[in-house]
Structure 1
Amino acid sequence: MQNPDISIILVNYKTPHLIVDCLHSVEKHTSGITYEVLVVNNDPDPSGQAVVLNAFPTTRWIEMGYNAGFSRANNRGIAESKGRLVLLLNSDTLLIDNVLKRCVDLLDSRPEVAAVGPMQITRDGQVHTEAYDGFSQLRRYFYIVPGSGFFKKLLHRLLPDNQYTDPDEVDWLIGSFIMTRRETIQKAGMLDDNFFMYAEDVEWCYRLGKHGKMLLLRDAFYIHLEYGSSTDYQERKVTHINRFKPQMHVSNLLWVRKQYGVGAYLILILHYLTLIPVIFGWKIGVNLLKLRPPFSELENQREFARHVGIFLRFFWKTVFNQKGFYKI
């Protein structure tokens, strides 16, 4: 049998029913190309296999044997896939039209393009406005500074965005939908398996982008529900200083170290360490001015200090860029 046009790779961790919904949308909306589906299982619960294979018996089910995270699971899928193109697709996504055919045609007709993906929308059709596609956008977000225009302008000056003549060209594509050629992966390498979850798509796109353009099709869309397995690794409370989910930011810091070097990483760590006495001192001062007990209502500050402590667990490994599994 001839190899398919696309190998669609999904990772399962407690999301078999989402995968079934996703594959129904793929089946409904995809025509004019051939594809295979590989589901790489990170979930120790064996029941998901029957859920998926009963609905889609031709799916190739691959067991990892443990929760291997996003990079290692997708790398296993890539290694066992047969398509000339590879699509990483999140389990919590839904196609709404024949976007796979459009992406295939684009990669086939434009050899200067390394990878392509469509825009994310919500179930009710709203574009995900908080989705970043630039390296500097992410790096600026990592700095916790007052929200005034001065500091925003300063960060933009220090960390400017890359400029492209093609309006669809970006620095990186969200890992929930990345299509690329097998030959491009052979040149750039697979995902970095030191990452457990988050930022691996950013780092991978940096390497893919060395071999061509990264295109975000601004007139093509897919639904990203964003409530899949990743919720197990997120903290719900978000404030200005506690904006980082610990697992996500451990991975973000690893990406900064790998792409921008040890200096950029150390500056961020120093920034967070310096902030600890600043935010405690500021809150104590506010309490005194309002005639409250000086050490009251410091939960937000303590939470930030706890998060920095989590980041520091990986400090020496990150400084020396050591191989390992950067999982909290």
Structure 2
Amino acid sequence: MQQALRNPDLSIILVNYKTPLLIIDCLHSVSNYTSGLTYEVLVVNNDPDPSGQSAVLNAFPQTRWIEMGYNSGFSRANNRGIAESTGRLVLLLNSDTLLVDNVLKRCADVLDSRSEVAAVGPMQLTREGKVHTEAYDGFSQLRRYFYIVPGSGFFKRLLHRLLPDNHYSDPNEVDWLIGSFIMTRRETIQKAGGLDENFFMYAEDVEWCWRLGKQGKILLLRDAFYVHLEYGSSTDYQERKVTHINRFKPQMHVSNLLWVRKQYGAGAYLVLIVHYLTLIPIIFGWKIAVNLLKLQNPFSELANQREFARQVGIFLRFFWKTLFNQKGFYKI
């Protein structure tokens, strides 16, 4: 059961945006499986609907409810929770997660016993209980995904050569942890800084782990698990139709481009923008040529190409702000 202590071992921070029932399920799993450490729960509310507060507090009255007053996104809400929390350890936990064992104590023990570790998290399970094998944990894995190239082995090998993965002697060490579960020390946050509040949603966890990683190792425990349902408020900001060229969710990729600019500089950011701008005439020209070869209207079936051009237009709305790394709220 949750302990009501002034200075608990762990502060668990969840962000609410239209997910009070998910939060209740998550907190039931925390309560059922967690032992051996004291903790507090802080829910930071981004949702203008007031009904979530009563639902969560009726189920878990010791929860601390913090109002942001607007949809402040992931970074700002979590930073507010961190600022108002009191635990020596801090956990960012998504509302759409479920614990399956005493993984909080396991991660806390790692941080308490290994001073060289800056942050730790477990492996993700799908709602069916399978290990989530498609989750990225390397910076270069993400960067390679941002390039839209033919699927042949040549281009894949070329990208791997240009953007190689980091390799570590510790099999659990990674570049970054997904923001649905990141546990770290308060003192590490004080040294590395909180989440970057320019990010509205997505990629803030990657950028934060980059700074946390300067304070020590980032560990992904390969034999520890939690369920990530991936069913929350984020669907409001995702494109549903995915093709090879239209693989990006616009809000996500605006944030991804901001991360590339911050971590790798203006040159790396400009290369991606030029890549996308160059692709527009290529993909239109290719499709028109295919239509002509099929003796069809050359300008038919161009919806996929138009959608890609539209998405690039969204990215370009943030071009100057991103290029000059200006402060702001990078929200579509």
* CA deviation after TM superposition for structure 1 residue 207, in Å: 0.1
One-letter identity of the residue aligned with 1:80:
E
- Pairing of 1:276-295 with structure 2 (within 5 A): 276-295=280-299
The residue aligned with 2:120 is 116
The residue aligned with 1:128 is 132
SS at match of 1:26: helix
Q: Are 1:197 and 2:201 counterparts? A: yes
* CA deviation after TM superposition for structure 1 residue 123, in Å: 1.7
Q: Are 1:152 and 2:175 counterparts? A: no
Which whole-Å deviations, capped at 9, do the CAs of 1:175-208 have from their partners, x for residues lacking one? 0000000000000000000000000000000000
One-letter identity of the residue aligned with 2:118:
A
The residue aligned with 1:83 is 87
One-letter identity of the residue aligned with 1:290:
K
Q: Are 1:218 and 2:222 counterparts? A: yes
* CA deviation after TM superposition for structure 1 residue 2, in Å: 4.7
Instruction: Decide which of 216, 229, 234 is 1:230's aligned counterpart.
Output: 234
Whole-angstrom distance in 2 between the partners of 1:48 and 1:173? 28
The residue aligned with 1:74 is 78
One-letter identity of the residue aligned with 1:5:
D
- Pairing of 1:21-32 with structure 2 (within 5 A): 21-32=25-36
* CA deviation after TM superposition for structure 1 residue 125, in Å: 1.1
SS at match of 2:245: coil
Which whole-Å deviations, capped at 9, do the CAs of 1:47-74 have from their partners, x for residues lacking one? 0000100000000000000000000000
* CA deviation after TM superposition for structure 1 residue 163, in Å: 0.6
One-letter identity of the residue aligned with 2:82:
I
Instruction: Decide which of 2, 7, 12 is 1:3's aligned counterpart.
Output: 7
Q: Are 1:250 and 2:264 counterparts? A: no
The residue aligned with 1:93 is 97
RMSD: 0.5
Is the CA contact 2:121–2:219 (under 8 Å) kept in the aligned structure 1? yes
Whole-angstrom distance in 1 between the partners of 2:195 and 2:235? 22
One-letter identity of the residue aligned with 1:238:
V
Instruction: Decide which of 318, 323, 326 is 2:322's aligned counterpart.
Output: 318
SS at match of 2:213: helix
One-letter identity of the residue aligned with 1:7:
S
Q: Are 1:183 and 2:208 counterparts? A: no
One-letter identity of the residue aligned with 1:122:
T
The residue aligned with 1:61 is 65
Q: Which runs of 5+ in 1 are unaligned?
A: none
Whole-angstrom distance in 1 between the partners of 2:69 and 2:299? 48
Whole-angstrom distance in 2 between the partners of 1:33 and 1:263? 46
SS at match of 2:11: strand
Whole-angstrom distance in 2 between the partners of 1:243 and 1:32? 43
The residue aligned with 1:301 is 305
Is the CA contact 2:148–2:244 (under 8 Å) kept in the aligned structure 1? yes
Which whole-Å deviations, capped at 9, do the CAs of 1:215-245 have from their partners, x for residues lacking one? 0001100000001010000010000000000
SS at match of 2:69: coil
One-letter identity of the residue aligned with 1:37:
V
SS at match of 1:211: coil
Whole-angstrom distance in 2 between the partners of 1:104 and 1:220? 12
Moved segments of 4+, more than 3 Å = none
Which whole-Å deviations, capped at 9, do the CAs of 1:148-184 have from their partners, x for residues lacking one? 0000000000000001000000000000000000000
* CA deviation after TM superposition for structure 1 residue 266, in Å: 0.2
Is the CA contact 2:6–2:86 (under 8 Å) kept in the aligned structure 1? no
Identity, in percent, stands at 88
The residue aligned with 1:51 is 55
* CA deviation after TM superposition for structure 1 residue 130, in Å: 1.4
Q: Which runs of 5+ in 2 are unaligned?
A: none
* CA deviation after TM superposition for structure 1 residue 128, in Å: 1.2
What is the TM-score when the length of structure 1 is the normalising length? 1.00
One-letter identity of the residue aligned with 1:191:
L
Whole-angstrom distance in 2 between the partners of 1:84 and 1:309? 44
SS at match of 1:39: strand
One-letter identity of the residue aligned with 1:206:
W
